[in-house]
Amino acid sequence: VLSASQDFDFFYFVQQWPGAYCDAKQACCFPTTGKPAADFSIHGLWPNYNDGSYPSNCDPNSPFDESKVSDLLSSMQKNWPTLACPSGDGTKFWTHEWDKHGTCSESTLDQHSYFEAALALKTKSSLLQALTSAGIKPNDESYSLGDIKDAIKQGAGFEPFIECNVDSSGNSQLYQVYLCVDTSGSDLIDCPTFPRGRCGSQIQFPSFDTSSGSRS
Ligand code: 5GP
Ligand code: 5GP
Ligand code: 5GP
């Protein structure tokens, strides 16, 4: 059977640092279900091609259905919180990620397996632990991009790609970490291709103080 639109070569597993989402120029809002932890959280699990391009919105007949992930919801609220404004319970973010990306990997992962795989990958990559073990802490200090990448490589076992954004003062900072995953969604792999984008050679690791309330 030909199903070319369902094929892909690997996943990017993308995690975001909430401190960098929240101190950039857009507003951030904490979810209605509770303040996020000061930890990396999931942005998405994105099917990709080896040439750097990617499929999107592959199956309009497969809507996000919360009842299929009811056993995962509390873990999704904790590990995959939405920081967009206005505050939401996450459904809108998860719907977007499923519609745009998840529907393109249905050849290997159904909806429950897709969300379950992403949650397991977050545990497997333990980014914050890898960084803090190397003395790299979310304390608004600057660290070398190479040191950050080395620490994650030590902890997760594979070289990450780091995406930066800029804070309100224009400083380049750690925003998202990309790791590559095989098509089954279970194993981290060496990236077949890295995304593009610039960081400085020294980047800030912004703090995320969850006691201060969301900003909008
Ligand atoms: P941005 O333009 O902000 O980097 O990305 C916007 C959106 O495009 C992301 O949230 C994601 O949905 C998608 N995207 C960006 N880069 C990639 C990529 O390299 N691979 C895949 N699969 N999606 C991407
Ligand atoms: P992408 O298309 O880049 O995979 O996903 C980004 C979309 O998800 C945007 O429409 C963005 O507004 C929405 N979104 C909701 N919550 C979040 C969040 O916590 N982080 C990011 N990066 N995007 C979010
Ligand atoms: P190299 O491959 O020599 O380490 O890096 C080549 C260029 O890519 C350098 O300008 C370096 O700053 C940039 N670079 C390397 N790794 C990353 C990364 O993970 N994220 C970003 N944004 N740039 C990177």
Q: Give the pLDDT score at 211.
A: 62
Query: Is the predicted pLDDT of residue 202 greater than 80, yes or no?
Result: yes
Pick from 82, 92, 104, 165 the residue to mutate for probing ligand 2's pocket: most ligand atoms within 8 Å of its CB. Answer: 82
Please choose, from the candidates 154, 123, 127, the residue with its C-alpha nearest in 3D space to the C-alpha of residue 138: 127
Whole-model pTM over 0.90: yes
Q: Give the pLDDT score at 9.
A: 98
Query: Is the predicted pLDDT of residue 203 greater than 70, yes or no?
Result: yes
Q: Using alpha carbons only, give the angle 127, 133, 136 rounded to the nearest 5 degrees.
A: 75
pLDDT in tens, 80-132: 999 999 999 999 999 999 999 999 999 999 999 999 999 999 999 999 999 99
CA distance 57 to 167: 31
Among all ligands shown, which has an atom nearest to the Cα of 47? 1
101 included as an active-site residue: yes
Query: Quick one: average pLDDT of 33-42?
Result: 96
Handedness of CA 73, 78, 80, 85 (dihedral sign): positive
Query: Is the predicted pLDDT of residue 19 greater than 50, yes or no?
Result: yes
Reported as a pLDDT band with limits 50, 70 and 90, residue 210 is low
Q: Give the pLDDT score at 4.
A: 46
43 included as an active-site residue: yes
Mean pLDDT estimate for the chain: 94
Query: Is the predicted pLDDT of residue 3 greater than 50, yes or no?
Result: no
